Amino acid sequence: MIKKISLTEMRIGETGKIAEIQGGQGMVLRLETLGVRTGKEIKKLSSQLMRGPILLQIGNTQVGIGFGIARKVLVEINIE
Amino acid sequence: MKILLIGNPNVGKSVVFNRLTGVDVICSNYPGTTVEFTKGKMRIQGKRAEVIDVPGTYTLDPTSKAEEVATKMLCEGDIVINVIDATNLERSLNLTLQLLKQKVPMLVALNLWDETKHTGISIDIKKLEEILGVPCVPTCAISGEGIKQLVQKISGARISSYEYEEGNRWYEIGKIIDKVEKITHRHHTFLERLGDASVMPITGIPIAILILYTVFKIIRFIGEGLIGYVFEPIFEKLWAPLILKLSGLMDAQGWLHNILIGKLIDGKIDFVESLGLLTTGLFVPIAMVLPYVFAFYLVLSFLEDSGYLPRLAILVDTVMHKVGLHGLAIIPMMLGFGCNVPAALSTRIMETRRERFISATLMAIAVPCMAQIAMIVGLVGKHGAKGLSIIFGTLFIVWVVLGILFNRFLKGESPEIFVEIPAYRIPYFKGLLKKVWIRIKWFLREAVPWVLVGVFIVNVLYAFRIIEFVGQFTSPVITKVLGLPSEAVGALIIGFLRKDVAVGMLAPLGLTLKQLIIASVVLTMYFPCVATFTTMAKELGLIDMLKSAGIMVISALAAGGLLNLIL
């Protein structure tokens, strides 16, 4: 079964595919520059306490994303 | 002919620039090291060319001030060398395709080529060249491989005929990558595992504390060692007898004696208190400050090149939001401990005006530079660690309290962090030493002359009794509010020029520990030195700088006054 959740709800170590970015054009463009865009496979590497930033692996890059943005990035994950 | 080096942040443009021109620039392993363009010259087949190192940008639609600088430069270039990260083809090509549309003669340097090998990436350069329609050269700038080939191909730079629909850019990039890149599976390296551990909260926070503690210990060890075993003996055993002879030749009096050698204390030279150009003027920058500056930059450069700083930024992000910033603001704060001038410049990596104002102001108020720290340690450290901890503790509290106030009362929001975390790299030793040397050279050239000017002006101020005069009408504030003797105003006047000299001026005043603490805190906070002031005025604009300065004066008086009441 495929479920759509936000980056902040993903568990550490979980992989998924970016399905939707709920933000304006400016944010979408900004995220794109570091490879965060719909269709990309990602892996969540870590998250910080108290709504801190989230670290993602996208291809060969690691990207740190603030909690506020991460909440607006929706990811499709596979649950058995 | 103008050649521009353009590319994503942290792909090694500055290293390429250094290889091409021989001009020394600071290169580190975090995005946003270069915030301003640097120019250099090189010769291509006998012709002179100007090379410009442009701050990194991910796109031609700028999102920060450093990126804005990059986009503006573009129309000035005759040839563009697009430096790309060979291990991050997709992201790099995003900018490359945008550049191709600008119709400037261009070539591509695939830098970090050596890293593709152990990351299991293989790129078909021939095919990439064919598709893009411009020369492509693999390089490893840090070791110099491929630079010669790059230079040879500069004259072959071409305007590409590659066409694509703007909306299809990512699709196009995907197509190119499918054709040229192959990725083979590989195992995680030790550095990658360490990379993961240093950003997990459970392991990351202890690692950060351990690293910062080690940094502190190493700086102290090297700094104190150099002072105690090298510089003090040189000055005391070799230089002092020479100067005493010179003093004897001048009969230990006269205005020239005062300016060159200063006051003899009990017939001897006191390198801190004598206040002559050849005594204090040389001793302070070389024997008291330089050892710590060297130690600090050695350690900072190591941290910068390893790639740890962006990870630290992730760890402290939540805290930084409380003061209206985000994690990346840790970079200006760290740089500030070396010198406030490059720190003020580095606030450009912050996205908004509000963040730049907050980070520059907090840095200038609460982060003392290494020159000042060295002097405070030299002066207050004699009374034990307690005084030092009160000084630095107070500055930290000021940083937090002011930051919270800024966050509450300044209009606007603080944007979220969004940053690339580079791979850990073991610093390239030669590159590291070179960077430390660039910074030491900068210190010797920029700081030492100003220290001499400072010491000279101190003599003039004393000779014309200006300090006494100013002391008279500032004494209500200086004595009543801060509890300092009125002569301390001299240090506040000189502090505008050089803070290390200013702290040194406190030495002959015979202050108590409490007064030393208050004076050190006030001297750190009340105003930036002239070099920092001009840089900040340029970065923030004059009006915001004046606002910032007003905040500094008021908060310095408040903090000093409070300490006077509490201690």
Domain ranges of chain A: 2-78
Gap between the Cα atoms of B92 and B414, Å rounded: 28
Q: What are the pLDDT digits (tens) for A60-75? A: 889 999 999 999 999 9
For residue B186, the model assigns a pLDDT of: 67
Across chain A, what does the average pLDDT equal?
Answer: 90
Q: Give pLDDT tens digits for B139-187.
A: 998 888 999 999 999 989 899 888 888 888 888 999 999 999 988 876 6
pLDDT of A33 reads: 86
Nearest CA-CA partner of B277 in B451, B124, B434: B451
Closest-CA residue of B relative to A62 is B421
What number is the average pLDDT over the span B386-412? 95
Q: Which domains does chain B have, with CATH numbers?
A: 2-183 (3.40.50.300), 202-413+429-566 (no CATH)
Residues ≥6 apart with Cβ < 8 Å to B354? B324, B410, B411, B412, B413, B414
pLDDT tens digit sequence for B5-14: 999 988 888 8
- What is the pLDDT averaged over residues B123-145? 92
Shortest distance between the Cα of B343 and any Cα of chain A, in A, equals: 22
Answer yes or no: are the C-beta atoms of B349 and B32 closer than 8 Å: yes
Closest Cα in chain A, distance from residue B321 (Å): 9
Write down the ipTM of this complex.
Answer: 0.94
Give the nearest chain B residue to A60 (CA atoms): B88
Distance between B389 CA and the closest CA of chain A, angstroms:
29
| β-bridge partners, B421 | A62
- The Cα A9–Cα B212 span in angstroms is 32
Which residue is it, tokens 């390429």?
B16
Interacting residues of B261 by C-beta distance below 8 A, sequence separation 6+: B243, B246, B247, B250, B269, B274, B276, B278, B279
Task: Name the residue in chain A with its Cα closest to that of B169.
Answer: A32
Backbone angles phi, psi at B159, to 5 degrees: -85, 125
Say which range, B235-244, B393-402, B466-475, has the weakest mean pLDDT. B466-475
Q: Whats the size of chain A, residue-wise?
A: 80
Percent of chain B predicted with pLDDT > 90: 60
- Measured between CB atoms, which of A33, A47, A69 is closest to B59? A33
Distance, CA of B13 to CA of B542 (rounded, Å): 32
| Mean pLDDT, chain B, integer | 90
Q: Which two tokens stand for residue B246?
A: 């010179």
Test A69 with B416 for CB contact under 8 angstroms: yes
Give residue B187's pLDDT: 66
CA distance B529 to A67: 37
Rounded CA-CA distance B417/B313 in Å is 9
Q: Dig out the tokens for B387 from the structure.
A: 């005084």
**Would you state the pLDDT for residue B409?**
94
Pick the CATH number of A2-78 from 3.40.50.300, 3.40.50.261, 3.30.1050.10, 2.30.30.90: 2.30.30.90
Nearest to B535, CA basis, from B293, B346, B330:
B346
Give me the mean pLDDT over the B78-107 stretch: 91
For residue B204, the SS3 value is: helix
**Which stretch of B201-205, B237-241, B365-369, B522-526 has the lowest confidence by average pLDDT?**
B201-205
Residue B199: predicted pLDDT: 86
Q: What is the pLDDT of residue B66?
A: 66
pLDDT band at B215 (very low <50, low <70, confident <90, very high): very high
Stretch B469-495: mean pLDDT, rounded? 90
Predicted confidence (pLDDT) per residue in B439-452, tens digit? 999 899 988 899 99
Instruction: Show which of residues 318-337 on chain B sit within 8 Å of chain A, judged by CB atoms.
Output: 318, 326-327
Q: How many residues does chain B have?
A: 567
| Chain B interface test: which of A44, A54, A58, A62 (most B C-beta within 10 Å) | A62
Q: Where are the extended beta strands (E) located within B37-102? A: 38-44, 47-53, 79-85
Q: What is the DSSP string of B54-65?
A: PPP-S-SS--SH
pLDDT above 70 for B246 = yes
Contact B327 A55 (CB under 8 A): no
The CA R_g of chain A, rounded to the nearest whole Å, is 11
A14-18, B123-127, B466-470, B527-531 — which is least confidently predicted? B466-470
Question: In which residue are the tokens 């991050």 written?
Answer: B88
Contacts of A67 in chain B (CB under 8 A): 416
> What whole-number distance in Å separates Cα of residue B286 and Cα of residue B282?
6
Phi, psi of A61 (to 5 degrees): -110, 150
List the single residue in B with minimal CA-CA distance to A45. B196
Burial of B542 (0-12, 13-18, 19+ CB in 10 A): exposed
Q: Do B90 and A66 touch (CB under 8 A)?
A: no
> Rounded to an integer, what distance in angstroms lies between the CA atom of residue B9 and that of residue B234?
44
Chain B residues touching residue A30 (CB < 8 angstroms): 63, 418
Query: With a CB-CB cutoff of 8 Å, which residues 50-79 of chain A face chain B?
Result: 50-53, 55, 59-69
Q: Is B260 left (phi over 0), alpha (psi -120 to 50) or beta?
A: alpha
B567 three-class SS: coil
d(C-alpha B201, C-alpha B341), whole Å? 32
Most A CBs within 10 Å: which of B199, B326, B330, B425, as the mutation test of the A interface?
A: B199
